[in-house]
Structures are given as C-alpha cells and as structure tokens.
Amino acid sequence: MRKGIVLIALTLLAARLPAGAQTPEQPAQLFDTGTAWDLGQGGAVTAVRGNLAGMLWNPAALADLTQRQVVYAEALRSFPKSLRFVAYGQNGEGGPPGGLAYLRVDNAVYDLKETAILYTFAQQWTDRLGLGVTMKLSRYEYPGDAKELLSFDAGALYDVNPALSFGVSVCNINEPKIRDAVVLSETQTLAPLTAVRRVNAGLQLRLSPKDRPGVVGAAGRVYHTRVTMDLFDVTDEIKRELRFGIEHDLNANLVARAGLLSSTPTAGIGVRLRNLTLNGAVLFGREGHRATESMLSLASAF
C-alpha cells in the first residue's frame, strides 16, 4: 500500500514537470544607483531624508518633505545600462504625502528593458519615525515577449537625535519574476530572471552644525557635512555591499560629494541656483569589475 502511494506521488510530480532539463531561475538587478545625487554619494542613501531618489531605495525618505519637489535624472555614460528617472513629490499640505515617478532602464547584460510607474505613500508616524511604501507597475521587454507586473518596497527612517538617523528598507518584497525562460535555439536558452528581495540598512551622521540666523535651538540648525554608510543587500552573503558617502556644503550654492560603492570610488557636485539644483556625478569603473558611469540630474523645490 505504501509503495503504491509513493508511486502515485512520483507519477503526479513527474506529470507536473515539463520534459527536458530545467533552466534554473537567476536573480537580476537592472540598476543600483538612480540619480546623480545618490551616485555621487556611493549609493549610500538608505538613511537620508527628503530626497526623491528615496522612491528607489527607501520610500520613508519622502515622509517629511517640506516642499514640493521635482527631479529629472539621466544616465549619460553608463553602458551596458541606460537609465532615466522623473519624479514628483509633495508633503501632506498639497494632498496625499508621497510621490509619483517614471523610470526607464535598458540593461544589455540581461537583454532587458524596464518601463515603470512608481507611487510612494510616506508619512511621519512620530516626530522621529517615518514610514513609507512604494508600489511599482512595470513592463519588462525582452526578446520575443514582454511582461507586466507589480512589485512593492517598504522602508522606515528613525532619528535617534538631530545629528543621527537610521534607515532600513525592503525592496521587491514579493520577488517578482521579471522574465520567463527564452529559447534562442535548440542548444541555447536564456534563464528566467527574478527581481530578488533586498534588505538594505544604513545610517546618516550630520556634522558641522550652525544655527540659522534668528532661529534658536536644535530645530533651527543646519548641518553642513553629512556622512552616510549603507549595508546594501544585507541578507545575501555573496552580493552584500558596504557603501560610504560624504556630502559637504562648500557654500550656500555649491555642494561636493564623494563615495565608495563597494570598492568603486564615486564623486559628484551640486550647484544650487535659487530653487534649482543641478547635480552631476561619476563612478570611476575598473576593468573586470564594472564600467564607468556618469549621470546628470536637475531638481527643483517649490
């Protein structure tokens, strides 16, 4: 009787499996920096508040926007990938707090294109704690087919004190399958790809405080130097990265940035003109490791 049950179970299992060898599913990450601002800081931005690049890395970054913001970012030299990011964000005074964005990525390594619309809802739950969630509707195009799917990110930011913040985010919570197996020939098949779940954690330390003219107390301080550190992809022992970044206000109109994305150095600069900020950044690639990347982005607050 037991042998019969085992035989039936094995038969059912075999019937469910397609004939031939199975192509193992592969993890995929089409991009790991999104704007010139976060590229200049080595991608160490999980614990940084008030910047629309947070829609890509930690939605809680939009929880305490003080003004409406728009940003346009474009990768200028980033083969084998290209990227464009356009976003709008607002605080609760202008409507629901959060942001809306358009993302376009073309990655030649995976022979894959992604076009996505992102919506982020973020809110301050306490004076120190901000929470956020992002919903992303994507269309992935690959040889011979395309796929539409939903994915979700969530994050939190906590201010220990005015000078220190911690952040954590979970990207691709539902681990969407972004490409099915593609049969190129009788002997060649592209493996199916999955956007793997990533857990990122980081901190930001703000230094060089100065009080705003006419304002007294910690709430009125401006910190001219900001140091960040991220542990990117915490749960993956193979792809886990340590990232560093530093940002310093040279004066009221000029910001300098430098970072280390894993073992790759980055540098950036920002120029402020009234309500506009122009950011540029370069990642200095190394042969056999990763290619050189450069980006420009334009942001406005109003």
- Please give the Cα distance from 36 to 282 (Å, whole number): 8
The pLDDT of residue 86: 96
Minimum mean pLDDT among 26-40, 52-66, 131-145: which range? 26-40
Q: Mean of the pLDDT values across residues 77-103?
A: 86
Q: Higher model confidence: residue 140 or residue 110?
A: 140
Helix, strand, coil content of the chain in percent (nearest 5): 10, 55, 35
Give the per-residue pLDDT at 45.
Answer: 94
Contact 110, 179 (CB under 8 A): yes
Q: pLDDT of 272-282, one tens digit each? A: 998 899 999 99
* Nearest Cα to Cα of residue 51 among 32, 75, 35, 31: 35
d(CA 203, CA 157): 9
Helix (H, G, I), strand (E, B) or coil at 27: strand
Query: Cis (ω within 30 of 0) for the bond into 80?
Result: yes
Q: Which of 10-24, 59-73, 205-219 has the lowest mean pLDDT?
A: 10-24
DSSP lists the bridge partners of residue 124 as 130
Under 8 Å between Cβ of 206 and 224: no
C-beta of residue 55 within 8 angstroms of C-beta of residue 48: no
Mean pLDDT of the chain: 85
Residues 6+ apart with CB under 8 A from 286: 264
Identify the pLDDT of residue 216. Answer: 53
- pLDDT score at 217: 53
pLDDT for res 163: 92
Q: Is the pLDDT of residue 4 over 80?
A: no
pLDDT at 290 over 50: yes
Tokens 């089409």 found at: 30
pLDDT in tens, 189-247: 777 888 889 999 999 999 988 766 555 555 567 888 999 999 988 888 778 899 999 99
What would the two tokens of residue 191 be?
Answer: 């493996």
Of 81 and 136, the one with more pLDDT: 136
Please tell me the distance from the alpha carbon of residue 88 to that of residue 83, in angstroms, as a whole number: 17
CA 101, CA 89: separation in Å to the nearest integer?
Answer: 9
First to last CA, the chain: 76
Q: Which of 232, 217, 180, 198 is nearest to 44 (CA)?
A: 232
Taking residue 260's Cβ as centre, other Cβ atoms within 10 Å add up to: 19
Q: What is the pLDDT of residues 32-44, one digit of tens each?
A: 888 999 999 999 9
Q: What is the rounded distance in angstroms from the CA atom of residue 181 to the CA atom of residue 21?
A: 12
pLDDT at 17: 41
CA atoms of 40 and 281, how far apart (whole Å) = 5
β-strand pairing of 177-179 with 193-195: antiparallel
Residue 298 and residue 272: Cα distance in Å, rounded?
10
What domains are defined for the chain?
24-301 (2.40.160.60)
Which pLDDT score is estimated for 9?
A: 43
157-167 residue pLDDT tens = 999 999 999 99
- pLDDT over 80 at 6, yes or no: no
**pTM score, two decimals?**
0.84
Question: How large is the C-alpha radius of gyration of the chain?
Answer: 22
